[in-house]
Amino acid sequence: MAKPTLLVLAAGMGSRYGSLKQMDGVGPSNEAIIDYSIYDAIRAGFGKVVFVIRHDFEQDFKEVFNAARFGGRIEVDYVFQNLDDLPGGFSVPEGRTKPWGTNHAVLMAAGTIREPFAVINADDFYGEAAYRTIGDYLRSVEGQRDHYCMVGYQVKNTLSDFGAVSRGICEVDASGNLVSVVERTHIEKTNGGVAFKDENGVMQPLDPEAPVSMNMFGFTPDYFAYSQDYFKTFLRENIANLKAEFYIPTMVNKLIHDGSSQMRVLRTDAQWFGVTYKEDRPSVVAKIQALVDAGRYPANLWK
């Protein structure tokens, strides 16, 4: 049985955080959040990690995150997200500087991954249980197609104390399959609850336990062909919009709505955390130290 692969979306510089936050040390031995992701993936039986990065920080990134760092315990590969990596017949419109989005980043690995794979953000801490859960699912669908998954976190367990966040709010059917994902770009804590800003700029209440997508998805390789085909449609409809992005939920919604695929929502009450704002960093450091103190992780991951 082939081991699943972990695809890490690490091309973003983190404009709100103000630095290459994927390389920021938050662990007691200067580990980055990526280190904990790889450590958990290894424990969950993943055999390879593929980083999606950009050429402008390739050397710095590879000097830090390479097979030697992980003690040779997992295979490491890299692919690159470029603004001009477009299907034939399309070109970057004048004035476009914004990347094409998370599903465009996934597409960069189409020639590299041939086994079931999980997709994560580089700067998100998902927790050991999430990797075991998604790893088990991916092994169960090896050799199949059109059966995907995502880990669904309770929205209340994913918020920042320092500002609004964007989350994909999930609707799930009675069988545990995803019906739709609605991207909400402004969600924040309120007095005793959670609220989001709707299309008219009005704050609306949100169920604190509503499942949200934190970009931890699981796919089989057939997903690449779907994405390559639909990206052309996306470009035809959005090429003039300099801020339009081809998100993973955009692709997932399309496949669900036309009946091509199913996506199982793997529910968890785990506490997700990440560095959305600079002010989040001390809290992340404290949470990781608490996990180390509780024996969940060693003080030095790779010693």
Residue pLDDT, tens place only, 240-272: 999 999 999 899 989 999 999 999 999 988 889
Residue pLDDT, tens place only, 9-54: 999 744 444 445 556 789 999 999 999 999 999 999 999 999 999 9
Would 129 be classed as within a structural domain? yes
Residues 225 and 273: their CA atoms lie apart, in Å, by: 32
> What is the mean predicted confidence (pLDDT) over 153-164?
90
Would 300 be classed as within a structural domain? no
Contact 153, 270 (CB under 8 A): yes
Would 229 be classed as within a structural domain? yes
One-letter amino acid for residue 250 of the chain: T
CA atoms within 13 A on the CB side of 137: 24
Residue 134: give the domain boundaries: 5-293
Mean pLDDT value across the chain: 91
Residues 6+ apart with CB under 8 A from 213: 150, 152, 167, 168, 170, 181, 248, 249
Number of domains the chain contains? 1
Residue pLDDT, tens place only, 210-223: 999 898 999 999 99
Would 302 be classed as within a structural domain? no
Would 298 be classed as within a structural domain? no
Would 119 be classed as within a structural domain? yes
DSSP SS3 for 116:
coil
Would 299 be classed as within a structural domain? no
Which CATH number is 232's domain given? 3.90.550.10
Residues 60 and 58: their CA atoms lie apart, in Å, by: 6
